[in-house]
Amino acid sequence: MTEHLPNSGTVPQDGLGTYSMISRVCAYWSSLREHGEIPERSAIDAAALGPALPHVFLAEMITPRVAKMRICGHQIEDLQGMDMRGMPVAALFMSEARGQLSEALSQVALGARVTLSLKSAGRMGQPEMTATLALLPLADPAGRITRVMGVLERQGAIGQLPRRFDLATPLQLTSELPAPNAPKRPALRVIQGGKI
């Protein structure tokens, strides 16, 4: 599901009156947006993510449809039982779902925030698991979207490794996307004076 980009730092609450990891990270990301622009990677402060940090990863957009992990929280690495730095985000997905992940990343590359509902079917040694993955675009100093911040919140025991996900619901993308940041240009100023 592709979401419109709010420009509010308000953290929504769930029905239990507690903040979910997804809500915390999305609210923090929204609070960094100035004039509706995509936040820069350099603006991310790990300390500000608090207890959500183990559920967060930062990935580099290698192409508009492929992203590789650069920093990964241990709650995500626990699903694979290994250091995921340098691995594609697609490593978290079953092969059948990787094409849909690529579609989602292509929307993130255009400036959309995407939330995916995931499931991992139960089988011998692996209890059924559900999860939500939010993908948030991040820009470089020139305004180009070159990074993605992901937050994965899961429910259920991990069991035997590795664990990978399918989409729980079909991927729904909208054609109405926010415009990506325009490349930043040097400010121009008027110089007063007549002709020489």
Produce one character per residue of 72-93: b if its CB has 16 or more CB atoms within 10 Å, e if not. bbebbbebbeeebeebbbbebb
Q: Can you tell me the distance from the alpha carbon of 70 to that of 91, in angstroms, rounded to the nearest whole number?
A: 13
Three-class secondary structure of residue 56 per DSSP: strand
pLDDT in tens, 156-190: 878 777 899 999 987 766 534 444 444 444 444 44
Give the pLDDT band of residue 17 (cuts 50, 70, 90). Answer: very low
Q: Can you tell me the distance from the alpha carbon of 127 to that of 134, in angstroms, rounded to the nearest whole number?
A: 23
Q: Can you tell me the distance from the alpha carbon of 143 to that of 121, in angstroms, rounded to the nearest whole number?
A: 40
Question: What structural domains and CATH numbers belong to the chain?
Answer: 2-167 (3.30.450.20)
**Is the pLDDT at 88 greater than 80, yes or no?**
yes
Lowest mean pLDDT among 80-94, 107-121, 137-151, 169-183: 169-183
Give the pLDDT band of residue 193 (cuts 50, 70, 90). Answer: low
Q: Can you tell me the distance from the alpha carbon of 111 to that of 71, in angstroms, rounded to the nearest whole number?
A: 21
